[in-house]
Structures are given as structure tokens and as C-alpha cells.
Copies of this chain bind each other. A is one copy, B any other.
Amino acid sequence: MTQDRDRTGGSPSIDRRRFLRAGLAAGGAAIAGGSVAGASESNPDNLPPNVADWSRYLGDGVDARPYGAPSEFESETVRRSVAWLTASTESSVNFTPLHALDGIITPNGLCFERHHGGIAEIDPADHRLMINGLVDRPLIFTMDDIRRFPRENRIYFLECAANSGMEWRGAQLNGCQFTHGMVHCVMYTGVPLRHILNEAGLKPNGKWLLAEGADASAMTRSIPLEKALDDCLVAFAMNGEALRPEQGYPLRLVVPGWEGNMWIKWLRRIEVGDQPWHQREETSKYTDLLPGGKARRFTWEMDVKSVITNPSPQAPINHGKGFTVLTGLAWSGRGTIERVDVTLDGGRNWHPARIDGPSLNKAVHRFYYEFEWDGSPLLLQSRAVDSQGHIQPTKDQLRAVRGTNSIYHNNGIQTWHVQSGGEVENVEVS
């Protein structure tokens, strides 16, 4: 929104306030009474408001940190794990602190982790990618070889199929970091997988791939060839720099919009076959047990989903009544997000949220809803609609079809209860 100088510079204060209100209303909200609570009038002379210590003394120079780190005051903004959730830390998960972030990019240091055999610490000079099976010419590539193929750059979300999995059986975890923190979104740089497969030469009966990791679990998943030839990447960089060790350094398969366990980390081998392999991680895990005892398998695509990240249990309202910024994330494995609606009263009234920032295919979208809080309790929910028209369901709608045996693919609407003091808790409404 570009504001014309003439419309704001030449009118008295009260008119400008009106303009401000009109301008903000276009974006979906207004600042109450034209004033932000907490802002106060001050000395009108030109003295700085505070001349703090950091203004009095020289700080560190440019050689202090060749590779930077966050401020010490941000030490609580970290990935967190839940000790009781898994038997060991090597086959476990930690969570992105969504409540402390904004925008659509996740910094590399805060991308959630899910390991099946711990973090493989790989020397890239000794790493190889093998292509075998139903190909004309089995090949082995070094990292330098991979860098000689044409590259693409894409911002994609990556969500674990088990994200929000505890919510199948009721509101259990008190914080969006824990209920929804198995999602992150970064820019990947890599080689389209089709270039590498075509280099090996696909045999006519090749219909499936097996992707295999070099970690201690030799994580494996079957992937249909159509997807591989469409938009999969063999990625070596995230957010500009080399992949992080916990994200598959030096090489990871990127499977846009599909569940995270298929994005094989520490990628060492791709076999071409004529049918799926039915490996452990696609039979005993990453299938969805339905009420009748039948299991859904190959539920690859991540469904349309959203969550309010602020306010949320880890990020209560501390400022009391008045103008309040609500924000959250929405995403879909089937495209972009078309709209997000927000309710403050558990679904009685819905209001369109403002999506801000780039709207990119299979990336998270950032939404905002600014409102005047009167201090009464709230039941906050968000509901996303994707570019294919899919609408995020309620948890009860999901359970009616899928029961409560599932762990995976819970994209139900999340409810936060805001108390009059500003505290927030994870609840369910029917």
C-alpha cells in the first residue's frame, strides 16, 4: 500500500488520525482511539529518550563472530523436545518455536528435527549418491558431480505427517510449538531429480523409486515416478547455505507438499523399480489405522492446515485490552492458500484474515487479523482454504471419518482459549 504524500502531509492531526483509521480498516483493523496503549507523550525537545550503556561504549567489532548467532536475550527461542514422547533422543523429534517467529522463512537453526537413528555427520568429500535398479546405466555421483546439473530455487514448507498427532485424542499439548511445530519453510537449492534420473536412463517398466538415507536407520521410502519427474529436487542448500547436518547434509530429497518422512535426508541411493517396496517406514509407520481396522497407506499429500501462533499458550496477551495483533501460518500440499478466516468466539462469527508476504506454491503463508480486545475471554480458531478449494476441517469432522487410531495427517482446526487475564490454553470446542 503506497500512501500519497499529499494525502497525509497537509491536513491537521485529527484528519490524519481518521485517515490512519481508514487505511488500517482496509487492512482489516483499526487502532482504538488512534492510540497504541503503552505509548506515552514525552519531552518534546530533541533529547534521546534514553542514553543507555550500549550508546556510551564501543561494541564488538566485525571480527567478533565470523558466523553469527542470536542475541543472548533470545535464548528462549529454541527447538524443544518432549522427553516422555519417545524412548530415545536418537529416534525422536523436536519442535520449531512457531510462537516466537514471524514471516514465512524459518531460520535454519530453528527448523524442527525428526531422526530415526540420530544425525549422520557426513564428510561431503566421501559422500556418494547412487542411482540403480531399472536404469540403463547405474551411476554414482560425488557432490561435485551433483553441482554440475542445472539448479532450481524454491521455497517449500516441510511438515512431518505426525504434526498435531497428539490432538487426535483431545487437546494435550499446551503450545503451538508442540501442537504444530513439526513444520518449517525454507528456500531449497538443488537439482531437479528428473535430470539425474534421465542421466541414468529410465527403463520402460520403471514406475517407482526407493530413496534411501545414509543415516544409521537407512531411512527408506517408496515414491511414485510421476512425482519424482514432476517437482522433486536433490537439494544441497537451504536458505542459501549448505544444508544443516540435522536436515540431511550434504544431500536431501525434496518432495514438495508431501509428508516430511519422504524427504530422505543424507540421501545416498535411489533405486528405480516397478512397484513400491513396502518398507518398515511405510507399513508399520506412516500409515493411518481407520476405525474398521483397515489402514490408509501412501497418504502422501499434506492437507490444507493453519494455526494461530500469536496469541497462543506460549505467547499470551500481556498488554491488556485494546488493539491486538493476531497472527498465524497456513499451508497446503496442494498449492497456495486462497484465504484464511479467523474467529474470536469459537466459530460463531468468522472474519477474513489478511495474508501478507509472498504467496508461493507449497510454502507457508503468513496471516494477520488485527482486532480490538475488550478483555473478555476468547475462543480463537483459524480456518484455511487452499487453491484447490479444500477447506480445513474441524477435529470432530476428521474423527467422524478417520476415528482416533491415527497418529498422522491431523489438519483439524485448532482452538486457543484466551482468558480475561490474557493467559492462553489449548482447548476443544464442539
Contact = CB atoms under 8 A, between A and B. Distances in A.
B128 A49 contact: yes
A398 to B, nearest CB: 27
B61 A88 contact: yes
Contact of A70 (B44, B79, B244): B244
Interface string A337-363: 000000000000000001011101000
Contacts of A360: 358
A63 B46 contact: no
A228 to B, nearest CB: 9
Interface string A94-110: 10000011111111111
Number of copies: 2
Contacts of A17: 198, 201
Contacts of A218: 48, 55
Contacts of A120: 54-55, 59
Interface stretch (A160-168, A229-237, A399-407, A420-428): A229-237
A237 B105 CA distance: 11
Contacts of A1: 192
Interface in A254-307: 266, 268-269, 271
A92 B63 CA distance: 9
Interface string A9-49: 11111001101100110011101001111111111111011
Contacts of A357: 152-154, 187
15 contacts: A1-B192, A3-B230, A16-B198, A36-B148, A39-B141, A39-B199, A42-B130, A42-B139, A54-B214, A61-B88, A73-B125, A73-B250, A103-B240, A104-B240, A107-B240
A159 to B, nearest CB: 16
A374 interface: no
A155 interface: yes
A216 B94 CA distance: 39
A199 B319 contact: no
B229 A5 contact: yes
A171 interface: no
A113 to B, nearest CB: 5
A388 interface: no
Contacts of A271: 46
A102 B237 contact: yes
Contacts of A216: 54-59
Interface in A55-75: 55-74
B242 A119 contact: no
A9 B34 CA distance: 64
Given A94-B62, A216-B58, A44 B109 contact: no
Most chain B CB within a 10 A radius of its CB, from A50, A124, A125, A269: A50
Interface stretch (A323-331, A379-387, A389-397, A408-416): A323-331
A154 B189 CA distance: 20
Contacts of A111: 68
Nearest to A81: B62
B9 A225 contact: yes
A336 to B, nearest CB: 13
Most chain B CB within a 10 A radius of its CB, from A2, A34, A109, A110: A109
Given A13-B136, A66-B80, A107-B108, A36 B145 contact: yes
A204 B10 contact: yes
Contact of A240 (B35, B106, B150): B106
A355 to B, nearest CB: 10
